[in-house]
Amino acid sequence: MEIISILLLIVAVVCAIYSEQIDTAVKGDKKVKKVIVIFNMGVLLVCEIAIMANILW
């Protein structure tokens, strides 16, 4: 489970880094960038909770 969480964190960080280029490519007018950033924050939160629960149990 921890490996999956770490992989999701890596993917989320990469998507956040390239969100501007993704938004430009799909001509999203900054709307796609907002969606990507909000989705990544959710992934980060869920993965951090999963990792912390795994460590504490």
Q: How do the pLDDT tens digits run along the chain, 57 residues long?
A: 678 878 888 888 898 889 889 889 998 888 888 998 899 899 888 888 888 888 898
Which pLDDT belongs to residue 1? 61
The model carries a pTM of 0.74
At 48 the pLDDT is 84
Tell me, what's the pLDDT at 4?
Answer: 81
Q: What is the DSSP letter of 57?
A: -
Structure tokens at 46: 């869920």
For 1-56, the three-class secondary structure string (H helix, E strand, C coil) is CHHHHHHHHHHHHHHHHCHHHHHHHCCCCCHHHHHHHHHHHHHHHHHHHHHHHHHH
